[in-house]
Structures are given as structure tokens and as C-alpha cells.
Structure 1
Amino acid sequence: MTNAAGSKGGSAKVLKKPAQKKKYIIDASTPSRDKIFDSAAFEKFLHDRLKINGRTGQLGDIVAITRSDDHKITINTNSHVFSKRYMKYLTKKFMKKHRIRDWLRVVATDPQSYEIRYFNISNEVEEEEEE
């Protein structure tokens, strides 16, 4: 009988990958300057709602959430406990709760960051004027 390593007999050695450090950035500078998006409330929302191992509010030393002066929220994690998509989900949930989801959207700018932008409604207004 062969084991997981493909050799006969003996025990298979399982190599564990070292813990990966991930850094996610959510840039809310544009709507925050216009006083539509409250980055301090969003930071608190993330602290309260972020689930680690199925539990909310227990970030411990696994996850660190910081907010910079230019309204960028940085989420540092010591292990791969959640995905970037989960950050987008929580951001959209926050915007829906504060009734700003109709004006703002979450756009990926690079593999580690999101940016909160306004919907481009100027094209829709021009199309209505042409008809």
C-alpha cells in the first residue's frame, strides 16, 4: 500500500507552509473628503463584524485594522484566514447599512486593495438628453 508521499511503507511527512502575511487596503479617500463616507465608523464596523474562525469581535493578534489620515483602511493579517472578497462583502454591507450603496461602489485597483468610487452617472444623463 502506498501512502500520500507515494512511497511504500513508513509515514508520510506533511510539509506545512509558513503563515502568510496578507495586507488589504480599502481606499475611501474620495467619498470621505466629500463627507459622505465615515471612515472611522467603517473601521469600527470592521472590528465588530470581521469573523475569525467563525467568531466576530475576537481579532486578537491575528488581524490588525488601522486607519490612516488620508482615509485608507489597512487590514494586516498574520495568516490566511479570510479572502479579499470578504473585505468587499463587508464594505458593501456597511454601505448598504448607511444607505450610501446607491451612490458608491467598490472597485479592485490591484491584487491587495479596493477603492470606493462614485458611480459614473454623467453618461446616463447625457444619454437621456439625446433621446
Structure 2
Amino acid sequence: MMTDLPEFYFRVRENGAAVFRIDTENRQRRIDMEQIAVLNIRNGDVRPQGARVLNDHERAAIDAWMEERRALLARRDVDDILRAVDHMNITTQWVQSKATDKQLEEITDSLLLAMHDLRSTLVRKKADRLSKVQTSRD
């Protein structure tokens, strides 16, 4: 059963991970975890632990994990936005069918400003994309 463990463990941190090498080949058959590096997912920085020098195999495993992690975080970003769209629809239904005047007075200005800001940004970004497409056609 101990052979089913991965060779490396990545303890996720806010901007990356601490990387550990897993060792079960010891006399007590315990799981030992030796920290080998700390990485920053945003800038790709990988700092070996202490005076350690990462070998090619370790670096390849770290690079693969970082690529998979970035893809996962990108998927989560899109999922969060799609949930926000659902929440906006639920909010619209609430405003239309359940909200009291007092509740509407409490939320209207901040919601309108946030929606205006979002709409302005989306329109500007769409115009930029259309401009790039038009420029590439010319």
C-alpha cells in the first residue's frame, strides 16, 4: 500500500506550494516528507530548500505540477464568473419578486455602481478585441 503514494507532495499555499519528497523506504516504514523547494505559481519562481540543488527529475515534476495548477486555477476563475452570472440572475428574480423597499434602498446604489463598472469594463475589452480583429484583417 505504501508504494501507491506519489513521489512528491505539493502543499498548496496562497501563491504557490511547498514541495516535499515522500519517502517510505525506511526501517520504520513511516511516511517521511522532506521539503525540497518552495514555488511561486504567479511568477514561476522555484526556490530549493536550504543548500539543495534540484535534479532534472524533481524540476520536471515541479514544472508539470505548476502547469496543471495554472490550468486548474484558470478553470476555477471561469467557473467563478459563471457562478456570478447565475447569482446575478437569482438577484434579479429576488428584486422582482421578493425584495422590500427597505432592502432595495439598502442595495440599489452599490449594485448599480458595480454593474456600471462591470459593463464599462466589458464594453471596453470587447471594443479592444474587435479592434485587434479588424486590424489583423487589414
* TM-score normalized by the length of structure 1: 0.29
More strand by share: 1
More helix by share: 2
Q: Which has the larger radius of gyration?
A: 2
* TM-score normalized by the length of structure 2: 0.28
Report 1 or 2 for greater relative contact order, CA contacts < 8 Å, sequence distance ≥ 6.
Answer: 1
